[in-house]
Amino acid sequence: MSRQEKMIKKIKELMYEPQKIRNIGICAHIDHGKTTLSDNLMAGAGLISKDLAGDQLVMDTKEDEQKRGITIDAANASMVQKYQGDEYLINLIDTPGHVDFGGDVTRAMRAVDGAVVVVCAVDGIKPQTETVLRQALKENVKPVLFINKVDRLINELQFSEEQFQERFIKIFMDVNKLIKNIAPEDKDWQLDFEDGSVAFGSAYQNWAINVPTMKETGIKFGDIIEYSRQGKLDELVERLPLYDVLLNMVIEHLPSPDVAQVYRVPKIWNGDIESAEGQTMLNASADGPLAAMITNVAEDDFAGLVSTCRVYGGALKKGDEVYLVGSKVKARIQQVGVFNGSKTIDTEKVPAGNIAYITGVKDATAGETLCLDSNRIPEFEPIDHISEPVVTIAIEAKNTKDLPKLIEVLRSVGKQDPTIKVNINEKTGEQLISGMGELHLEVMTNRIINDKKLDIVISEPIVVYRESVLGTAGPVEGKSPNKHNRFYIEVEPLDDGILKALNNKDLKEGRVKSKETAQKFIEFGMDKEEARRVWTIYNKSMFINMTRGIQYLDEVKELLLQGFESAIDEGPLASEEVTGLKIKLVDAKLHEDAVHRGEAQVIPAIRNAIKGAIMLADPCLYEPIQKVYISAPIEYIGACSNDIQNRRGVMTGQEIFGEVSEMEFEVPIAEMFGFAGDIRSATAGRALFSTEMKGFNTLPRSLQDNIVREIRQRKGLSAEPFSAEHYIG
C-alpha cells in the first residue's frame, strides 16, 4: 500500500473522531504566500511532489489562477498529521487574498474552526490582513499566526538577529491589537510567542520555527541566518520542516469541532439549542439528526455542481434525500466524500465535524441549510459578506440563439458566487452583472467565454451608485389607485449610530420581531419610541410604524413592507438602490372592505408616497469609495499623489520607511478605471498598490445632475427624474 493509499485509509478512520479533527483556513493579504504554504503542507503529507511544492500551486486548480498567479477560488484538501503519538485529520481551505474575491474568504470561514493568518515579514500587516482577520473573528474562528518570507529579511534586507526580533515583535503586536479589538468579548485569543501560537519561516524554502521548536532543537535566530547565508537550506529544512511545525501548531492551538461547535453553533444557528438537533450539533455527534450548511458551490465538467458542506450534526450519506431549508426543495445526494486538493476521496458518508463535498444537489447555493426531509430544522444564519458589489457590466449574447444558454449560465454564476449580483431582464434581453471590482468581473466573464464556450459582448464597467436624502420631508400623502386608501409618510436620513452598526454587521437586516432588537437600536443611539416601532430593516433603511389604533393596518402590513422594499430597490432619482433612510408611517386611512385594500391598491400607494417624500427631502447620490494603498520609492511620491488627485482622490495617511513611502488614499471607484496601467507608467513599474472597499460617500453636487442623466439614459428612462408631484399629485 502506497503512502497516499495509507493516508486515504487513515482519513476515512479519523473523520469519525471529532476530537482528532482540525478544520482550518489559510488566509492573508494577496501575495503573502498562502498558496505556496498550502502546497508545502500538501507535499509534507505526500499529496504532491516535494520538488514541485511552491511552484506547482496545486491548490490553484483553474487555468486563470495559474496564469495570473493568484488564488481566485477557495480550494480544499484533507491530510493526516502525527503529533505526540496520535494522528490527526487536517481539513484545510486555501482562500484568496485579493480584495475582489473576499467573498470566498467569508464563506470559507463558516466552514472552518481555526485560521492560520499569514503575514509577510517584509510587508507586515496590510489592509486585507485586517479584513481576513475580521472575517475569521466575526465567524468565531480562532487564529494563529505564521510570519512568512523570512528568507527575504535574510537575503534581501540583510537583517541582523536583533532586527529580526524587532520586526517579529511589531507584526505580533499589530496582529494581537487587531484580535483584541475584533474578537468576541468572551474569547481570550491573544497570541503568545512562548506558547507556540506564533511561527515564522519561509513557505518558499519550506522551513518554519516557533519558540517551542527552538527549545526542542536548540536552533536560534542566529543559526537560521547562518544556515541561509552558507547555503545549507537542505539541512535547515530537514531540521525545521514547515509541514511539522505548522500543523503541530494547528493541532496544539486550534480547536477540534467538538470544542468549537459548543460556542459557534449558538451564534450561527437559529434553532433551539436544547432540542435533539441542537444537542447533536453541540456534541458534533454523527448519530443524531442531519444539520449541514453549504458554504461554497463550484461547477465540475463531469460531476455538475459540487457543493462544499460543513457537517455540524448527523452525517451526509450517499443516496440520502436531503431537504434544502432555504429553497424549500428536496434533492438526492449522488456522491459524498472529502476533498484532496484537485481530487476527491469518495466515501459512503461524512459524519459531523468534517468539511464534505456532495454532488447531485442542483439547487445548491452558498449559505443553504441541509437536513433530512423527515427532520426539518431551522436555517443557519446567513453568511454576511463584508463588501458589496460596486461595479457593473452589461452582457449580451452575440448570437440571439445563445440567449437562453447565457441566462442559464448567469443564474448558475449567481448560485456559485453570492457576491456576484445578476439582474436579468428577459423582456429587454439586458443582463447586468455586478461584482466587487474590475478583476472580479473580468475573471467571471472570461470563464463564461472560455469554460462555457459562449460568444458575448461586454460593456464598459459601470459604477453602482446609491440614492439617499440629505434633508427631511413629510408627512407626504400616498393615495391608492382607487383613492380609497391613504398613507402618510415622513422621510429622513437614518441615525448615524444605526447606519454604522448596519455597515459593521452589528445589526441584522430583516423583519424585527423581538424586544431585544429594539433595545439594541436604543444602544446605538435611536429614539426609544421609534426603536420599539421598527417593522423591518431593508438595504440599510428602516420602515417604522408610528401610527396608533389604525383599523385594518395589521392586515395590510406585509403589503406595506412589499411596497417599501419596491421603493428602496429602485429610487426616484436614477432608479438605483436607496440606502440609509428612516421611513415613518405616521398616519393611514384604510377602506373597511378588504376587496378595496388589496395588493394592487396598497403597494403603489406606499411606494409612491415614499418616492415622493424622497424627492422632497433633498435627494442625493452616494458613490462607492475605495481605499488605495501605494508603496513606492520616495522619489515617486509626487507622481503617485498627482495621479490620485486627478482622480478626485485625497491622501489620508503616509509613512516613510527608509527609501520607501507607504501612502494611503481614498478615491471614488468611478475614477479608478485604468489605474493599474497609469500608476505603472508614472513610477516606471516600481509602485505596488492594493485596494479595499471603504463604503459610500455623497457625490459632489456639481457632478450629480450629469451622473443622474447618464444613468437614466443608460437605463432607457427619461432624461430628468420625475418630480414629487408625479408620485403624490
Q: Beta-carbon neighbour count of residue 126 at 10 Å?
A: 21
Tens-place pLDDT, residues 220-272: 888 888 888 888 888 888 889 998 899 999 999 999 999 999 999 998 888 88
Answer for the pair 143, 189: CB distance below 8 angstroms, yes or no: yes
Residues 6+ apart with CB under 8 A from 299: 305, 306, 412, 416, 451
User: How would residue 403 be classed by pLDDT, with cut points 50, 70 and 90?
Assistant: confident
Residue 328 is placed in which grid cell?
424549500
The rounded distance, in Å, linking the Cα atoms of 54 and 41 is 10
Q: What's the rounded Cα separation, in Å, for the pair 273 and 266?
A: 7
Cell of 158: 540583510
Burial class (CB in 10 A: 0-12, 13-18, 19+), 544: buried
What phi-psi label fits residue 147: left (phi over 0), alpha (psi between -120 and 50 degrees) or beta?
beta
The rounded distance, in Å, linking the Cα atoms of 464 and 389 is 8
Strands of 348-390, DSSP E: 349-351, 355-359, 369-372
**pLDDT, tens digit, 9 for 90 and up, residues 535-561:** 999 999 999 999 998 888 989 999 999
- Measure Cα distances from 148 to 24, 84, 126, 724 in Å: 18, 25, 13, 59
CA pair distance 480, 613, nearest whole angstrom: 16
Instruction: Find out whether 258 and 18 touch, Cβ atoms under 8 Å.
Output: yes
Helix (H) or strand (E) holding 645: helix 637-645
Question: What radius of gyration, in Å, describes the C-alpha atoms of the chain?
Answer: 27
- Which residue, among 127, 116, 213, 208, has the nearest Cα to 174 in the 3D structure? 127
- The Cα 505–Cα 559 span in angstroms is 27
Q: DSSP secondary-structure letter at 55?
A: T
Q: Which residues of 202-229 are buried (b: 16+ CB within 10 A; e: fewer)?
A: bbbbbbbbbebbbeeeebebebbbebbe
Report the greatest alpha carbon distance in the chain: 91
Closest-CA residue to 454 (of 393, 394, 405, 392): 405
Residue 402 near residue 455, CB atoms below 8 Å: yes
The answer to whether 525 and 496 have CB atoms below 8 angstroms apart is: yes
pLDDT at 718 over 50: yes
Cβ-based neighbour number of residue 483 at 10 Å: 11
Residue 342 predicted with pLDDT over 90 = no
Distances (CA, A) of 509 to 131, 187, 538: 22, 26, 6
Other Cβ atoms within 10 Å of 684 Cβ, number? 12
Task: Give kind and range of the element (H or E) at residue 127.
Answer: helix 127-138
Residue 327 has pLDDT above 70, yes or no: yes
CATH placement of domain 3-255: 3.40.50.300
* pLDDT of 71: 42
Q: Is 462 left (phi over 0), alpha (psi -120 to 50) or beta?
A: beta
The pLDDT > 90 percentage for the chain reads 37
Q: What residue type is 295 in one-letter code?
A: T
Instruction: Give pLDDT, residue 426.
Output: 57
**pLDDT per residue as tens digits for the range 654-706:** 888 778 888 899 999 889 888 888 888 888 888 878 777 788 999 999 999 99
Q: CB-based contacts of 702: which residues, under 8 Å, 6+ apart?
A: none
464: DSSP letter: P
* CATH class of the domain comprising 622-698: alpha beta
Helix (H, G, I), strand (E, B) or coil at 396: strand
Determine contact, residues 256/88, Cβ cutoff 8 Å: no
Residue 636 identity (one-letter amino acid): Y
Query: What CATH number labels 467-617?
Result: 3.30.230.10
CA gap 69, 66 in Å, rounded? 5
Domain with CATH 3.30.70.870 in the chain: 391-464
Instruction: Give me the chain's average pLDDT, please.
Output: 85
Pairing of strands 207-210, 198-202: antiparallel
pLDDT tens profile 596-617: 888 899 999 999 999 999 999 9
d(CA 528, CA 514): 14
At 287, which amino acid appears?
Answer: D
- What lies within 8 Å, CB to CB, of 205 at 6+ separation is 151, 233, 236, 237
Q: Which residues of 576-605 are buried (b: 16+ CB within 10 A; e: fewer)?
A: bbbbbbbbbbeebebbeeeeebbeebbbbb
The span from the CA of 29 to the CA of 175, in Å, is 13
Residue closest to 294 by CA, chosen among 388, 363, 386, 376: 363
**pLDDT value of position 391:** 78
pLDDT at 51 over 60: no
* The pLDDT value given to residue 69: 43
Cα atoms in the 13 Å half-sphere on the side-chain side of 254: 33
The reported pLDDT for the residue numbered 632 is: 86
pLDDT of residue 587: 94
Contact criterion met (CB below 8 Å) for 335 and 359: yes
Domain with CATH 2.40.30.10 in the chain: 259-375
Q: In the structure, what pLDDT confidence band is assigned to residue 572 with cuts at 50, 70 and 90?
A: very high
Lowest mean pLDDT among 449-458, 472-481, 554-563, 708-717: 449-458
The total number of residues shown for the chain amounts to 729
What is the tens place of the pLDDT at every residue in 487-532?
999 999 999 999 988 887 788 888 888 777 888 899 898 999 999 9
Q: How confident is the model at residue 455 (pLDDT cuts 50, 70, 90)?
A: confident
> What's residue 609's pLDDT?
94
- The per-residue pLDDT for 100 is 52
Enumerate the CATH 3.30.230.10 domain ranges in the chain, comma separated. 467-617
Residues of the chain with CATH 3.40.50.300: 3-255
86-104 average pLDDT score: 73
Cα separation, 102 vs 54, in Å, equals 23
Beta-bridge mates of residue 241: 207
| Set of cell numbers at residue 10 | 487513515
Exposure on the CB side of residue 454, measured as CA atoms within 13 A:
24
Say if residue 42's pLDDT is above 90: no
- In whole angstroms, what is the distance from residue 680 CA to residue 640 CA? 10
Grouping H, G, I as helix, E, B as strand and the rest as coil, residue 574 is coil
Residue 116 has pLDDT above 60, yes or no: yes
Kindly tell me the burial class for residue 108, based on how many C-beta atoms sit within 10 Å of its own C-beta (0-12, 13-18, 19 or more): buried
| Chain-centre distance for alpha carbon 150 | 29
Confidence at residue 24, expressed as pLDDT on a 0 to 100 scale: 92
- Greater confidence, 613 or 426? 613
Across 55-65, average pLDDT = 45
Decide if pLDDT at 291 tops 50. Answer: yes
pLDDT of residue 594: 86
**Can you give the pLDDT at residue 627?**
87
Return the top range by mean pLDDT from 391-400, 416-425, 458-467, 698-707.
698-707
pLDDT at 66: 44
pLDDT recorded at residue 261: 94
* CA-to-CA dists, residue 144 to 32, 37, 383, 468, 563, angstroms: 15, 14, 23, 42, 48
Here the cell at position 289 is: 439528526
| SS3 (DSSP) at 691 | strand
**Nearest Cα to 395, choosing from 405, 380, 387?**
405
CATH number given to 259-375: 2.40.30.10
Least confident of 312-321, 446-455, 636-645: 446-455
Quote the pLDDT of residue 477.
Answer: 93
Phi, psi for 148 (deg, rounded to 5): -100, 170
Mean local confidence (pLDDT), 119-133: 83
Question: Considering the domain 391-464 in this protein, what is its CATH number?
Answer: 3.30.70.870
Res 68 pLDDT > 50:
no
Q: Is the peptide bond before 255 cis (omega within 30 degrees of 0)?
A: no
Residue 631: predicted pLDDT? 84
Mean pLDDT of the 115-137 span? 85
Burial label for 460, CB within 10 Å (0-12, 13-18, 19+), is exposed
Q: What span, in angstroms and rounded, lies between the C-alpha atoms of 177 and 171?
A: 10
